[in-house]
A and B are shown apart, each in its own frame.
Chain A
Amino acid sequence: MSLFSTRLLAASAFALMAAAPLHAKTFVYCSEGSPEGFDPAPYTSGTTFDASGHAVYNRLVQFKPGTTEIEPALAESWEVSEDGLEYTFHLRKGVKFHSNDKFTPSREFNADDVIFTFERQANADHPWHEYMAGITYEYYSSMEMDKLIKSIEKLDDYTVKFTLNQPEAPFLANVAMPFVSIVSKEYADALDAAGTREDLNNAPIGTGPFKFVAYQKDAVIRYQKNADYWGEAPKIDDLVFAITPDASVRLQKLKAGECHLMPYPAPADLDEIRADPNLKLDEQPGLNVGYLAYNTTVAPFDNPQVRKALNMAMDKQALIDAVYQGNAEVAKNPIPPTMWSYNDAVEDDKYDPEAAKAMLDEAGLKDLTMEVWAMPVQRPYMPNARRTAELIQSDFAKVGVKVEIVSYEWGEYLKKSMEEGRKGAVILGWTGDNGDPDNFLSVLLSCAGANPGGANRAFWCNEEFSDLLAKAKATSDHDERVKLYEQAQVIFKQEAPWATLAHSTQYVPMAKNVTGFVQSPLGDYTFETVDLTE
């Protein structure tokens, strides 16, 4: 059924395109992968969010382009109650949903759509909760929205009140994320009546800058400018995602003029891109960290002096030159420098093998043998974990520590690295979801994160540190939060549960004539501001 309806859609979209002026301004993005679907709620990949959440939809609030600051979107304004438990959103009036050949909205965006968006994910009995077999709302549950939101009330057509179970300052950043993109309830009702519910995922209707036109699986996604956009209308007429999985081929396409912009260039190609007169390269520090997590519950790594000594034995600059080919900066804090509350006053443990050896001797360690785990996959924060492990191995050998490198299949790696009593230190990393420091510190380093199913792979539970995080979460006073997180970073450095390795740089190569592209620190690719000159 869905195959048939996609074809119909493509056919009618064709009619639509044929009627459009012939030399429309078309922007082609060589995307790196295929979206899992076009409903942003049940999926988790950034590729899907670029293709659906960012292009087609909006959220109550959004990240100001190029930053992680929150600005109004479908909510024009909001108030937070004194106790931090109630968030009242005042919705924007006059916002139109898109239309397609089978659906034309009869009303504008209102509170019903907001409630529908959250309830279908929150409530297992909601008729739209499992509209496709086997779907789950992983982001909604992993951001703990289910535990956080007590109730959502419609005060009137343009006012919605969220009541929380506990005060949570990062809540606003959470509702700026793509998984809570506002979906039209009227469209859902129409699909219900037509018996084509899966079209919510195949033929999305949103309020965003671009209207979805057609998707040919694993090949091309086509969009058209939303002329009725509530914000500043896009400058390009058509947006095309040409799906190109291989990084070298993407670059060849960019050079041949088959696309205008590409994500994730191969590090080895960067010099060639810089040298090409027809291309330009935008670079920005990424919102990520790569680290080596000791198991702080197992001797001798339960001793902070030992961890610090090992950190001092590591030549991180050499590691960045070799593994990242210089396209990263040395990390001293667990959060990247572009994130608010980054504590630049913290001093990194200096590379000093002599002193490190002395400290290890002092701790009574002779002939220490340890495992270093190297993850089997590449991530922007860790381009080559095996090589990293080898460099650590040779650095540690200089202070008399023998390293055995181990690796597992990725799923196993993730699982085994969270097993209690794990031997060895684990190479891993993190890319921020929403730009809130809590999204790094609580997830990766709090006592709660050390429980099964968490992501605190150092199993580090420092109550003073966790208390600071809890306090920072409970206040919505921004300056106060900055202070608390700065203190937390000082404790982190003293206790050294990780060796912080690197914050890698994000690169976006594009054609010379592309203007107005704003890189997102969160690694999103959005095109409402881009234009083509000439």
Chain B
Amino acid sequence: MFRFILKKLLYLVPTMLGITLVAFGFIRLLPGDPVLLMAGERGVSPERYAQIAAQLGYDKPVWQQYLHYLGNLLQGDLGNSLVTKKPVLNEFLALFPATVELALVAITIATVIGVPVGVIAAIKRGSWFDQVSMTTALVGFSMPIFWWGLLLIILFSGVLGWTPVSGRISLMYFFPQVTGFMLIDSLLSGQDGAFASALSHLILPSIVLATIPLAVIARQTRSAMLEVMGEDYVRTARAKGLSPRRVIGVHALRNAMIPVITTIGLQVGVLMAGAILTETIFSWPGIGKWMIDSISRRDYPVVQSGLLLIAAIVMIVNLVVDLTYGLINPRIRHK
């Protein structure tokens, strides 16, 4: 087990190196230039441009800039934002908990609803439940997120007044950030109603963010269940006279969960992408919106290092998912 983890971790090194190269290269392949964008309509004189470029090191050949960047990375220096001038790592750490909190709630919603729906749809294959839920899943999967978010805001916050429009907590609550997770910090603050306020602010954004993963998980669970239920061992279990509950719950579900867990793990990447739109609509102060703004401003250090940090986190989550296979399927445990 230990060697397995070690091997996986070693694989991370060349992958991360590849990511630095891709992130570094792609943002520079885009036309546009941070200095020109900062100057705007007014323009910047050639002398001043040269001066700023030299100060930022952008007058050197790109490969030299890359090596310089790698050298700094090895010393733990992720660079400073060109826009705010602040260290990228500090900005990331200030924003990341908000994204994680939203993503965790969203993936929980997606799993808790998606898996049972998929199982029931598989058992009652062809029934009205199967057809309705799978059609809904197809719609959910193809939902334009921005439109969906605005629609929910206008309906639930505007017309019905049930949920707050945007933000993480009502502005009347003000307490120090301890963990960065609003649900936890609001409890720690001891202020009456703070937790409920934080929770109510999470409802709409987490539903919006959960929409696509929920659809994917439900469909994946259904097809995995259908496949497993056709296997010999399930028929054997039935033939032994086991109760249907035991056949499905133990023999079928446990085997069907393996591809489902892979899917859930892969949804972490999807959540990061979905976070960009969801965070923008709901004014959620996370890393999704931060990355988008940085790309449009050609804030090279933020894009490079931000992508690297996000990629590292997605890979670690996938590694953890790999490890959980062992818990479900002993055959993988000793590989």
Contact = CB atoms under 8 A, between A and B. Distances in A.
Interface of A: 2-3, 6-7, 10-11, 13-14, 17, 26, 28, 36-37, 42, 44, 132-136, 138, 141-142, 198, 201, 214, 216-220, 222, 240, 242-246, 248-249, 252-253, 255-256, 258, 408-412, 414-415, 418, 428-430, 443, 451-455
A3 B285 contact: no
Given A28-B171, A258-B165, A443-B42, 11 more contacts: A3-B93, A11-B176, A44-B38, A134-B55, A134-B82, A198-B86, A243-B283, A246-B280, A249-B283, A256-B165, A454-B43
Please indicate which of the listed interface residues B38, B43, B80 has the most CB atoms of chain A within 10 Å of its own CB.
Answer: B43
A252 B167 contact: no
Given A243-B285, A453-B43, A455-B42, A410 B37 contact: yes
Contacts of B167: 219-220, 242, 244, 258
Given A26-B171, A255-B158, A410-B37, A244 B55 contact: no
B281 interface: yes
Contacts of A141: 48
Contact of A249 (B83, B91, B282, B286): B282
Given A14-B175, A219-B285, A240-B171, A134 B85 contact: yes
Interface residues of B, number: 61
B153 A242 contact: no
A440 to B, nearest CB: 12
A137 B214 CA distance: 49
Interface of B: 30-34, 36-49, 52, 55-56, 80, 82-87, 90-91, 93-95, 98, 150, 153-154, 157-158, 161, 164-168, 171-172, 174-177, 280-283, 285-286, 289-290, 298
14 contacts: A11-B176, A36-B84, A132-B85, A133-B80, A135-B85, A141-B48, A142-B44, A240-B171, A249-B153, A256-B158, A409-B32, A410-B37, A411-B36, A443-B42
The 5 closest A-B pairs by CB, nearest first: A453-B45, A411-B32, A218-B285, A219-B285, A11-B176
Nearest to A249: B166
Given A134-B56, A453-B49, A414 B39 contact: yes
Contact of A453 (B44, B80, B94, B161): B44
A246 B281 CA distance: 6
Please indicate which of the listed interface residues B39, B168, B172 has the most CB atoms of chain A within 10 Å of its own CB.
Answer: B39
A252 B281 CA distance: 11
Given A10-B177, A142-B42, A409-B30, A415 B171 contact: no
Contacts of B52: 136
B51 to A, nearest CB: 8
A415 B37 CA distance: 10
B304 to A, nearest CB: 15
Contacts of B85: 36-37, 42, 132-135, 201
Given A10-B177, A134-B82, A249-B282, A411 B33 contact: yes
Nearest to B292: A245
A475 B90 CA distance: 50
B271 to A, nearest CB: 18
B285 A216 contact: yes
A415 B175 contact: no
Contacts of A37: 84-86
A408 B41 contact: no
Given A37-B86, A412-B31, A245 B80 contact: no
A135 B165 CA distance: 36
A158 to B, nearest CB: 33
Contacts, number: 157
B158 A252 contact: yes
Contacts of A44: 38, 40
Given A26-B171, A258-B164, A414 B43 contact: yes
Contacts of A410: 32, 37
Contacts of A216: 94, 177, 285
B161 to A, nearest CB: 7
A411 B31 contact: yes
Contact of B31 (A26, A253, A408): A408
Contacts of B44: 142, 453
A136 B290 CA distance: 22
A455 B44 CA distance: 9
A7 B176 contact: yes
Contacts of A455: 41-43
A217 B55 contact: no
Contacts of B176: 7, 10-11, 14
B298 A414 contact: no
B166 A253 contact: yes
A372 B104 CA distance: 49
B46 A453 contact: yes
A9 to B, nearest CB: 9
B95 A132 contact: no
A22 B41 CA distance: 46
A142 B171 contact: no
Nearest to A254: B165
A411 B37 contact: yes
A28 B164 CA distance: 15
A217 to B, nearest CB: 5
Contacts of A414: 36-37, 39-41, 43
B86 A132 contact: yes
A93 to B, nearest CB: 35
A411 B43 contact: no
Contacts of B48: 141, 453
B174 A17 contact: yes
Nearest to B166: A249
A252 B41 contact: no
Contacts of B286: 218
A428 B41 CA distance: 8
Contacts of B56: 134
Contacts of A240: 171
A293 to B, nearest CB: 11
A256 B55 contact: no
A236 to B, nearest CB: 14
A411 B37 CA distance: 5
A218 B153 contact: no
A214 B171 CA distance: 13
Contacts of A28: 171
Please indicate which of the listed interface residues A6, A255, A415 has the most CB atoms of chain B within 10 Å of its own CB.
Answer: A415
B90 A2 contact: yes
A245 B42 contact: no
A136 B158 contact: no
Contacts of B280: 245-246
A7 B185 CA distance: 13
Nearest to B33: A411
A94 to B, nearest CB: 32
A3 B290 CA distance: 17
Given A36-B83, A253-B166, A258-B164, A248 B150 contact: yes
A465 B39 CA distance: 26
A256 B157 contact: yes
Please indicate which of the listed interface residues B30, B32, B48, B98 has the most CB atoms of chain A within 10 Å of its own CB.
Answer: B32
Contacts of A201: 85-86
A455 B42 CA distance: 5
Contacts of A253: 165-166
B191 to A, nearest CB: 10
A243 B98 CA distance: 15
Please indicate which of the listed interface residues B83, B84, B172, B290 has the most CB atoms of chain A within 10 Å of its own CB.
Answer: B84
Nearest to A453: B45
A244 B283 contact: yes
